[in-house]
Amino acid sequence: MKCAGIVVEYNPFHNGHLYHLQKTVEKTGADCIIAVMSGNFLQRGEPALVSKFSRTKMALAAGVDLVVELPYAFATQKAETFATGAVQILADLGCQYLCFGSESGKIDDFYRTMNFIEQNKELFNRSVQTYMKTGISYPKACSMAFRSLNPTGMMVDLSKPNNILGYHYMKAIKKQHRSITPITIKRIHSDYHENNLSPKGISSATSIRQALFSQTSFPIEAHVPKTTWNELIRFKKEYGTFAHWERYWSFLQYRLLHIRPKDLKNIYEVEEGIEHRLIGMAKEASHFQAFMEKLKTKRYTWTRLQRIITHILTNTTKEEMERRSEKVDYIRILGLNERGRKYLRKYKDSFPTPIISKISSLTEEKIYLDVRAGRTYAFGFDPPFRQQMIQLEYARPPIILESDGRPSIS
């Protein structure tokens, strides 16, 4: 069976994701589509709108055949580490293709950019350090360093979020010596951070989430598949709310006001004395948005700060994260359809990384970081929903969808 892999968050699954999925099938001719999906906390350091199980249902209903989890140690990291874990999982699962969305849409531009940076590696790295000394963030320093090399020809704009991820997927494939063919699909109609819903029906996840949380009723039904809309309604009815950072503020504030600076320094990504600023701003802010606005600096992007805060809430230490992010130790199945089941039955004995269906089947040392992340996510919901979510994290078997069709955008 020919297999194509995609790396997703689906926060939530929308029409743009459906377009990407359908183009993946069209361009690769794959018999099976495998999605490696972030868990309950995402790459930009945010709690997912709905749980990973709910997002798995959305993915399967749209035609993904097998959904597996990108562990917390990779899912909540910078692009390079995020890509490293995702590529390992898809390669270990036997994917011949990795199909990613990008602002560029031209795979040759990615190859040229990757080769150009490799040829100018020392100068590029020195330029990054020079720019960072001015107090700007690492992603911006990388973009400026690249431009300072005066690249010629068709190159990828490395200031764009999907281009950055695509670049790192390709770097990871090369570094890991994986026999995966990368393919890219151009993002259409709406930018990654676009705040307004598009009149063309393909809108950013950011604009869809903002519409959901708006005090005014916005018709988002036209921007997501019907199955996504139904799942959003079901989730809110069952759990009482969608997850967002304000619901975690009291727990975060309590934690910051009851920890010593020297202990906070042990948390992953807490560097350069920011522990004092974190504690100081927690004393002053009355809610999460105000806290972040006080905390943000030119050096620390909103995304990096959210990741730091996520690690504080989950009590993830430097030592623990560095040990767990060296390689993926297991692959957890979140859901599959009949096509996915056939694929696993045929090939699972050849996979180099253990495949598990329930996290309770592993030793606590291996799974504790992911279990802790799941329990932390549950605190964004009121009891008794919280208890239900905590239990699901540890014991829930994969979601099985009997159908394996792929619907069109309505």
- Report the CATH number at residue 388: 3.40.50.620
Domain residues for 235? 3-103+164-243+327-401
Pairing of strands 331-337, 181-186: unpaired
Give me 229's structure tokens.
Answer: 């809309």
Looking at the fold, whether 15 and 132 belong to one and the same domain comes out as no
Domain co-membership, 291 together with 391: no
Q: What Rg do the C-alpha atoms of the chain give, in angstroms?
A: 21
Q: Is residue 111 part of a domain?
A: no
Q: Is the pLDDT of residue 195 over 80?
A: no
Q: Are residues 174 and 196 in the same domain?
A: yes
Asked whether the whole model's pTM tops 0.85, one would answer yes
Distance CA 321, CA 309 (A): 14
Condensed to tens digits (0 to 9), the pLDDT of residues 10-31 reads 999 999 999 999 999 999 999 9
56 in a domain, yes or no?
yes
Q: Choose between 325 and 83: higher pLDDT.
A: 83
Q: Are residues 133 and 235 in the same domain?
A: no
Residue 46 lies in a domain: yes
Does one domain contain both 250 and 388?
Answer: no
Q: Could you tell me if residue 406 is inside a domain?
A: no
Residues 304 and 372 in one domain: no
On whether the CB atoms of residues 244 and 306 are closer than 8 A, the answer is no
SS3 content of the chain, % helix, strand, coil (to 5): 55, 10, 35
**Which pLDDT band holds residue 384 (cuts at 50, 70, 90)?**
confident
- Binding-site residues for ATP sit at 7-20, 101, 162, 187-188
Tell me the pLDDT tens digit for each residue of 132-150: 888 787 888 888 888 888 8
234 and 382 share one domain: yes
**Cβ–Cβ < 8 Å for 45, 304:** yes
Q: Of 295, 322, 349, which marks where a domain is finished?
A: 322
pLDDT of residue 144: 87
Domain count, the chain: 3
Instruction: Give yes or no: residues 315 and 216 share one domain.
Output: no
- Identify the domain boundary among 322, 351, 384: 322
Q: Is residue 409 part of a domain?
A: no
pLDDT tens, position by position, 39-54: 999 999 999 999 999 9
- Same structural domain, 186 and 215: yes
Evaluate whether residue 407 is within a structural domain: no
Judge if 97 and 183 occupy the same domain: yes
Q: Which residues are annotated as a binding site?
A: 7-20, 101, 162, 187-188
